[in-house]
Each structure stands twice: as C-alpha cells, then as structure tokens.
C-alpha cells in the first residue's frame, strides 16, 4: 500500500486540474500577450482564473498577481516593500521560524546594513505581542510573518498582530506568508486588512510552477523582475498559462469543498495522532492538537530514533513523510523551526512531519500507524544493541 503523508510539501493534482492543464498545452497554447485571437482567448482564461481566486480570497481581481510559486511571491512582496520604502526606514521585523524564502531575504538585507528583528516563539509556536509592539519603531517599514507554520502547523493570530502594528506605526507594511493557510483556513483579505499575501498552487491540488500574490490596491511594490511588463509590471515574463488555468480550476473546486475537506483532514489527523500516543512510547507531539493548529500538519518526535532513518524505513514500506519542510530538507543542520520553539537536540533529531489531505483514508492511516509503530520498534532495538 502507498500512503502519501507529505501534503505540506506538495499535493496530488486533481484529475480535473490535469485535464485543464493538458487542454491548455494541446489546444489553447497561444501567448496571452499576442494580439491575435488565440492570444486574446488565452488572456480571457487567465483573467477568469484571477477572478476565481480573488473571489475565494475575498478581494478584487486586480489585487491578484500570478507568480512562479510561493518562494517567488514572498520575494516579490518582501523585497518589493523593502526597496520601495528603504528611504523611509531601515528596520524590518520577522520571526525566527519563517520559511527560508523570507528568512534568507532578511539575512541578505541585514548583510547590506538593514536592521532586522527576529521575534521569539514560545513552545507552541506563538509570538509574544508585547515583544512585537516593543520592536516596532518609526523606522520599521515591514513586518513579514507567516499565517501557518509549515513544520508544526501553528496558526499565528494575524488580526491581533495587525492591530498591534497599525497602533504603533500605521506606515509599517505587513506581508503574510499564507502558503500553508490557503484552503485550510477561512481567509477574508478585506477584513484582514494586510498589505500583501502569498499563496501557492501545488499545495492545494493544483500544478507546480505557479503561485499567487495579493497586493492591496494602495500598496506599491518596487519590481525585482524586469521585462515585458506582464502582470502589470509586478512579475514580468511570459505567464505559465497551463499552470494558471490549472490553479484556477483547483480553486474553483475548492470553493465548494474546502470546509468539508478541511474537517475531514482534521478527523484523519486526530485518528492518527491517537494511534501514535496509544501505541508508541517516548514520543513528543510538537504540534498543537486544538484549533490553534492547521488541520493538515502534525509534527512528532520519536525519542531515540533519527528522523532520517525512520523516514527511509517508512518509505521502504510505502509510507511517505518528511523530516522538515521540503524547501529545508537539503539544508545542513537542525530544523530552525524546532530550534525556535525550544526543542532539545534529541527531540529535533527524532522529529517527523506528517501532513494529510482529503485523499487519505482511514485504511491508509491504519496501515501507516502500524508501519510506524513497527519501524520505531525495529530502529530502537537495533540502536540499543
């Protein structure tokens, strides 16, 4: 049996999405910038996808821009805000457990002289709002923060964070990395009143190579990519048309199903974690198990077991998981996310991230739990010889 529990890394595209992508590749392959009919027809399809996604996120169509993925969306937003506002201030704020596509930017600009505050996290992956408030000053031009952490699933209170920011410095922009939150939480961008919001297609059963960025109407970004002025100059370069149309299809399906699917995923996760707690000794659940955690992410440390060894044991039996985020798995050293919430070295070394989708069945979860229990037992027996 094959059980895929790495859905925070990427998801299986829906059949309807694959059909749309194939159609665009085979039939509607015109360049949307072309002036002839084939180009105009494709441009209409792109605008239709844009409208579908804007409606889902409750914002205007003109506030949605297509990119090559979540990393590019974060780069365009964070660098775009910094470069546009650098003359007004020299300070940004982020957290210690952001995705590498945000942390790497912060470290790059820090090396160029920008002042960066990295907010602490508590054991649950929550920031201290007083530390945030104390960190904001007249020169703070940006706060970049994720809505859902990609390794442990903690949901950050964006409304409360935004209130603190705007009460201290109304000119400070806020960028929210929404990549793991998109389709798992109710998101109303008008009510959130944030400045930019990034999201990705392949995390929601769409194709890889396409993402999105919300930019509030009155926010101006300095472009980091120059060229043919596609996407109104925010992201020049020929659009990934099959990807965008596939993404639109994935979201069109989600608008009817995402709430029920999120509830189903949570039930599967709860069922799985109970089996772990009931049947495997010396484990530490690093994710919250209530509504402060996204429904699809579960992080667990198996004490005395190296996560990479366990991953390959599981893989040999058809169960696919991860030890960290896919974007960090090739990096050296321990997970910066688990370090940031104060885990001990042996807890970090034995950590596995399980992430679920609506495709997972209880039969699969029973098999995965049994395989996990036996694998942990075998590894501990070998290492204790």
pLDDT tens, residue by residue, 21-77: 999 999 999 999 999 999 999 999 999 999 999 999 999 999 999 999 999 999 999
Q: What is the pTM of this model?
A: 0.95
- Looking at residue 344, its pLDDT comes to 95
pLDDT tens, residue by residue, 202-216: 999 999 999 999 999
Maximal CA-CA distance, the chain: 72
- Looking at residue 208, its pLDDT comes to 98
Tell me the average pLDDT across 197-206: 98
Q: How many residues does the chain have?
A: 385
- What's the whole-number average pLDDT of the chain? 96
Tell me the average pLDDT across 344-362: 96
pLDDT tens, residue by residue, 315-339: 999 999 999 654 555 555 789 999 9
- Looking at residue 330, its pLDDT comes to 53
pLDDT tens, residue by residue, 339-352: 999 999 999 999 99
Report helix, strand or coil for 238. coil
Q: Give how far Cα 270 sits from Cα of 100, 288, 291, 345, 356, Å.
A: 29, 11, 12, 26, 11
Catalytic site residue from 22, 59, 293, 327: 327
pLDDT band at 384 (very low <50, low <70, confident <90, very high): confident
327 counts as catalytic = yes
């Amino acid at each position: 049996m094959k059980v895929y529990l790495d859905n925070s890394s990427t998801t299986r595209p829906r059949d309807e999405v694959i059909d749309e992508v194939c159609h665009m590749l085979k039939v509607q392959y015109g360049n949307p910038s072309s002036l002839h009919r084939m180009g105009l027809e494709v441009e209409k399809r792109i605008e239709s996808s844009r409208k579908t996604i804007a409606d889902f996120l409750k914002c205007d169509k003109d506030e949605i821009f297509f990119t090559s993925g979540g990393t590019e969306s974060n780069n365009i937003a964070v660098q775009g805000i910094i470069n546009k506002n650098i003359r007004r201030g020299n300070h940004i704020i982020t957290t210690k457990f952001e995705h590498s596509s945000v942390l790497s930017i912060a470290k790059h600009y820090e090396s160029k002289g920008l002042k960066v505050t990295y907010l602490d996290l508590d054991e649950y992956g929550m920031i201290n709002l007083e530390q945030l408030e104390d960190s904001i000053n007249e020169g703070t031009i940006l706060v970049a923060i994720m809505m859902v952490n990609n390794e442990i699933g903690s949901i950050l209170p964006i409304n409360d964070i935004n209130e603190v920011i705007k009460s201290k410095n109304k000119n400070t922009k806020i960028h929210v990395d929404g990549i793991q939150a998109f389709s798992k939480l109710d998101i109303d961008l008008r009510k959130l009143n944030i400045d930019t919001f990034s999201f990705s297609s392949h995390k929601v059963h769409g194709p890889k190579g396409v993402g999105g960025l919300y930019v509030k109407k009155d926010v101006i970004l300095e472009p980091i990519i120059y060229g043919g002025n596609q996407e109104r100059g925010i992201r020049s370069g020929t659009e990934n048309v099959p990807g965008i149309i596939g993404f639109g299809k994935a979201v069109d399906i989600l608008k009817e199903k995402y709430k029920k699917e999120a509830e189903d995923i949570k039930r599967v996760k709860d069922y799985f974690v109970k089996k772990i707690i009931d049947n495997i000794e010396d484990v530490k659940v690093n994710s919250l198990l209530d509504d402060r955690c996204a429904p699809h992410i579960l992080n667990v440390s198996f004490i005395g077991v190296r996560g990479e060894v366990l991953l390959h044991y599981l893989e040999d039996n058809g169960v696919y998981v991860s030890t960290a985020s896919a974007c960090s798995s090739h990096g050296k050293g321990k997970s910066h996310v688990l370090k940031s919430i104060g885990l001990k070295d042996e807890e970090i070394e034995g950590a596995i991230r399980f992430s679920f989708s609506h495709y997972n069945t209880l039969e699969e979860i029973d098999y995965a739990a049994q395989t996990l229990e036996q694998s942990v037992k075998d590894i501990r027996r070998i290492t204790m010889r």
